[in-house]
Amino acid sequence: MRQIKNMQVQKHESIVVTIVSFFLKTFSRNMNAFALKFISDYLFIIVEKIIVKLPSLLLPYITYYEDIVDNEINLAKITKQDTVLHIGCGPLPSTSLLVAQRTGAHTIGIEKNILSVQDAQYCVHAVHQENQIQIYHANALTYAMQSSHIIIVSQGIEPRYEVLEHIANTMRPDTRVIFRTFSSKDGGITTQDAVLSTLFTVGDIVSHPAHGILISVLLRKKTDM
């Protein structure tokens, strides 16, 4: 019986990962980063609203983010001693769950949509991670950033510039920020994200080949701010 259940989970995982990955790999080659961001934001909203109603797809969907989170853990050197804040965790807090599981770090997810918060709290409860992961209804424009060692900013967060500015102005001197975005065709930062260098000291960039042109950018506090 357990073997059959595992086979079903693997089948669901394959379906979920294949659909999302196909979109990102196929269309990201022919679209600019701004257009891709607009479409992918809505794609993930639809996918996550469906999956949250189908608990059997929760774990398979989380695996879609495994390589992204693993890359980001290495990028920012996340450890058990860190407090990790994920801005824009959505109804399925995959990043928060994976960071907590892989590093043992205390993880906080914030989301401004109250229905998404309720769904995310249900997901955390479903995998028995309530002691390690907290989900709060909060606005990133006013949330206190000072208590976080690591801040992960979701790709679809809006208003983008204002959130980044608030982080830059209120983060701790030693905080590492991971900003998810889409790259230019040469793998670098797009003109839309050029503002990053005015707000932060831009560090390493890691790409995620299985996810089209998605990249994660390491940001640190500017010493002259």
Please answer whether residues 179 and 155 qualify as being in contact, where contact means their C-beta atoms are separated by less than 8 angstroms.
Answer: no
CA distance 64 to 44: 12
Give me the pLDDT at residue 124, please: 92
Query: Does one domain contain both 77 and 136?
Result: yes
Shared domain for 7 and 96, answered yes or no, is no
Residue 146: per-residue pLDDT: 94
Angle, helices 33-51/2-28, rounded to nearest 10 degrees: 160
Residue at which a domain ends, from 62, 90, 111: 62
Q: Is there a single domain that holds both residue 76 and residue 42?
A: no
Domain count within the chain: 2
The whole-model pTM stands at: 0.80
pLDDT value, residue 39: 54
The answer on 135 and 45 residing in a single domain is no
**pLDDT score of 175:** 98
Instruction: Mark which of 62, 84, 107 sits at the end of a domain.
Output: 62
Q: Quick check: bond before 159 cis, omega within 30?
A: yes
What is the DSSP annotation of 47-90? HHHHHTT-GGGHHHHHHTTHHHHHHHHHHHT--TT-EEEEE---
Final residue belonging to a domain, choices 36, 62, 88: 62
Give pLDDT, residue 3.
41
* Structural domain of 36: 2-62
Residues of the chain with pLDDT under 50: 1-14
